[in-house]
Chains A and B, each alone.
Chain A
C-alpha cells in the first residue's frame, strides 16, 4: 500500500474540458444505475403523462376548437406536441428533488473532497435525467399512436423532421433540468424541491399553445403565450410533425418556431447551468 506506486495509477491532470466530460459520465453512470435499481420511479414518471394523453384526448377532445375545426381527431393531433413538451419539462421537478436529496447526504461531501470537475455532479445528474426523459418520450409516442395520433395529418413530413422534433424536445427538457438543478441547490429539502419544482411549471405549460389554440385567448394572455419559450418548442414540433394548430400569428417565435426553440433552449441551458454550477461551488451545506 505504498503511496508512491498508487499515485502512479492516477491519470495525469487532463485538460479541464475532457476531465469535465469524463467526470460527468462517471456521475451519469451512477445515476443511471440508481434509476435501474428504483424502477418504480421510472414507472411513476410514465403514469402521469400517459394519464394526460388519455384524459385530454377523451375528456377535452370533443369540445376543443383548433383553428376552425372542432373535430376530436384534429384535437388529438394538435394535443400530442403539447403533451410531449409538457412531459419533458415536468422532469425538472424530479431532477431538482434528486439534486436536493444528494446535497443533503454525506455523499456530496465525498464528491466535494475529490479532485473532480466541479460541475460534474450536476451535469451527470441532468444527463441521466435526460436519458430517462428520452425513454419516457418513446413510451409516450407509442401510447399516442395507439390512441390515434398521426404525424403528417396536416401536410407532409418525413422521418428526419419527426426525429428533429424529438431532438428539440430533448434539448428543451435538458435545458429545463438545469432550472431544476438550480432549484434543487437552493431549497432545504427534496420535498421542497418537488413542490417548488412543480408550481411554476403549471403556468409555464398552461399559458401556452400546448393544450388550447392561443387565438381564442384574450390579447395580453395570447401575447405571453406566444412568446413563452415553451410555446416555441410546441409550435416547432407541430410544424415538424405536420400536425394541426399552427395558428397564424405575428409573434416572431411562432413564425420561426424551430429557430426560436433552439435559441430559447440554448439560452436557458447556458444561463441556468452557469447559475447552478456557481451555486454548487459556493454551497457549504
Chain B
C-alpha cells in the first residue's frame, strides 16, 4: 500500500529547463520525509506538484490516498501547505488571516474563530493577534503562516523551507512546533537546504539534485554509504603530534591527516567505540596528553558532497530561481 505521500515518475519542464526529471517518493503515514537539495534541485517544484499548485507533465501522485491529478479538490481538503515565503495578508491582523483561512477550508464562521484563537495561543501570537501582520517580525510571520497551514489539522503537511531566513532562536522554536506536530501523527514532507535540519527533524531523507532523487534512506544509512567513521584527536602538546600520528596510523584504516595549528589528527577507522578505548589506552601508555578525542561519523554535508560532487548551498542563485518559475 502506498504511503500518505506517494509520487512516481514526476516530470515537469519549464521551457528548456527540466525541473523534475522523474521524481519518485513514498512517505509512510505518520513519518517525516526531508527533501534535501541545493537551490534549483526541484524541491519546490515537487511540493507544488504534490499540493495541486502545479500540474506535472507526466507521472502519478497520491496524497492521503487521493489521486492528485484526478481529484485535486479532495486533496486540498486533506493538506496543509506552508511555503518559503509567509503567505499571509499583511494588511489583515493575525486573527483575521487565520479566520479567513479557516472559512476557506469550509469551516463554519464560529468554528474558524475559535480555532484561530486556539492557534494564536499555541504559536505565541496571542499578544499580536489584533495587529496587522505587516507589523510582525519575520519569525512571527512564519509562525502565523505555519498556523494557517494547521487550521484544520490536516493529516498531510507540506513545508517548503520553513526556516530559511530565520535566526537560530526562531529556527529552534519552529523546530519544536514541527516536532510536536509530527508526534501527533501528521505525515510531513519538508524541504530544506540545511542538512542539520533534515538530520534533526526527518525520519527519512531523500536527496534531490537536478530534478531527481539521487539517494534515499535514514540519515544513518546515508552517512554509512559515504564511508565509515573516523577518530579525531587533539593533543595537548605540539611535540606529541608525531607520536600520536604513529599510534593512530597503527589502529586506522588509512592515512592520518594532521592539522598542525589545531594540534588535531584524524584517521579513518572501523571498529567504533571499542577501538576508541584501545586508542585512548595506547596514547595514555605512551604518555601523550590529549585535550579531546572522539569518534566522528560523517555529517550530512559529507554525504551531500560525496553524492552530488558539489556542496549543498553552493549553486548559482539566479539559475535556481529560473528553474522554479
Contact = CB atoms under 8 A, between A and B. Distances in A.
Interface string B228-239: 000000000000
Interface residues on B, range: 35 or more
A30 interface: yes
A108 B88 CA distance: 9
Interface string B77-108: 10101011111110110001000110111111
B108 A9 contact: yes
Q: Is the interface of B mostly helix, strand, loop or mixed?
A: loop
Interface string B170-194: 0000000000010011100000000
B89 A34 contact: yes
Q: Is the interface of A mostly helix, strand, loop or mixed?
A: helix
A3 interface: yes
Contacts of B92: 30, 33-34
Interface string B139-158: 00000000010001111000
A22 B102 CA distance: 13
Contacts of B52: 112-113
Interface in A92-110: 105-110
B148 A110 contact: yes
Contact of A10 (B86, B132, B152): B152
Contacts of B87: 105-110
Interface string A7-34: 1011101100001001100110110011
Contacts of B88: 106-107, 110
A38 interface: yes
A283 B9 CA distance: 23
A19 B106 contact: yes
A185 to B, nearest CB: 16
A33 B76 contact: no
B107 A114 contact: no
A130 to B, nearest CB: 19
Closest 3 CB pairs of A and B: A106-B87, A110-B87, A6-B153
Given A10-B77, A33-B91, 20 more contacts: A3-B154, A3-B155, A3-B186, A6-B115, A9-B152, A13-B106, A22-B103, A23-B104, A30-B89, A37-B91, A106-B83, A107-B88, A107-B89, A110-B87, A110-B88, A110-B101, A115-B74, A115-B77, A116-B106, A284-B54
